[in-house]
Homo-oligomer: A and B are copies of this chain.
Amino acid sequence: MLKYKVLNTEGKARRGVLQTAHGEVNTPAFMPVGTVGTVKAMTPEAVASTGAEILLGNTYHLMLRPTAERVAAFGGLHKFMNWPKPILTDSGGFQVMSLSGLRKITEEGVTFQSHLSGEKFFLSPERSMEIQYLLDSDITMAFDECVKLPAPHKKVQDSMRLSMRWAKRSKEVFKDRTGYGLFGIVQGGTYQDLRLESVKALTEIGFDGYAIGGLAVGEGQEEMFKVLDYTACALPDDKPRYLMGVGRPSDIVGAVARGVDMFDCVMPSRSGRTGQAFTSHGVLNMRNACHTDDHNPLDAECTCPACKNYTRGYIHHLFMAGEILGAILLTWHNIHFYENLMKQIRQAIEENRFEAFYQSFMERYKDERKF
Q: Could you tell me which A residues sit within 8 Å of B by CB distance?
A: 36-38, 40-45, 65-66, 70, 73-74, 80-82, 292-293, 295, 305, 309-311, 313-314, 317-318, 320-321, 323-325, 327-329
**Chain B residues whose CB sits within 8 angstroms of the CB of A41 once the complex forms:** 324-325, 328
Q: Looking at the assembled complex, report how far the CB atom of A272 sits from the nearest CB atom of chain B, in whole angstroms.
A: 11
Q: How many copies does the complex hold?
A: 2
Residue among A44, A82, A313 facing the most chain B CB atoms (10 A cut-off): A82
**Chain B residues whose CB sits within 8 angstroms of the CB of A310 once the complex forms:** 82
Give the top 5 A-B pairs by smallest Cβ distance, nearest first.
Answer: A41-B324, A82-B309, A38-B325, A66-B317, A36-B321
A35 to B305, CA, bound (A): 22
**Chain B residues whose CB sits within 8 angstroms of the CB of A70 once the complex forms:** 292-293, 313
**Chain B residues whose CB sits within 8 angstroms of the CB of A305 once the complex forms:** 43, 45
For the complex with contacts A41-B325, A70-B292, 6 further pairs of A-B residues with Cβ separation under 8 Å are A36-B317, A38-B323, A65-B321, A66-B313, A74-B314, A81-B314
A70 to B305, CA, bound (A): 22
Q: Which residue of B lies closest to A329 (CB)?
A: B43
- Contact check, A66 vs B323: say whether CB atoms are below 8 A apart: no
- Contact check, A317 vs B43: say whether CB atoms are below 8 A apart: no
**Chain B residues whose CB sits within 8 angstroms of the CB of A313 once the complex forms:** 66, 70, 74, 80
Q: Which residue of B lies closest to A64 (CB)?
A: B321
Q: Looking at the assembled complex, report how far the CB atom of A329 sits from the nearest CB atom of chain B, in whole angstroms.
A: 8
With A310-B82, A314-B80 known to touch, is A43 a contact of B293 (CB < 8 Å)?
no
Contact of A324 among B309, B317, B327 (CB under 8 A): B327
A189 to B42, CA, bound (A): 44
**Chain B residues whose CB sits within 8 angstroms of the CB of A320 once the complex forms:** 65-66
Q: Which residue of B lies closest to A331 (CB)?
A: B324
With A66-B292, A309-B82, A327-B324 known to touch, is A318 a contact of B38 (CB < 8 Å)?
yes
With A82-B309, A293-B70 known to touch, is A317 a contact of B65 (CB < 8 Å)?
yes
A70 to B320, CA, bound (A): 14
- Contact check, B318 vs A74: say whether CB atoms are below 8 A apart: no
7 sampled A-B residue pairs with Cβ under 8 A: A38-B318, A38-B325, A40-B324, A45-B305, A65-B317, A65-B320, A74-B311
- Contact check, B293 vs A325: say whether CB atoms are below 8 A apart: no
With A317-B66, A328-B43 known to touch, is A293 a contact of B38 (CB < 8 Å)?
no
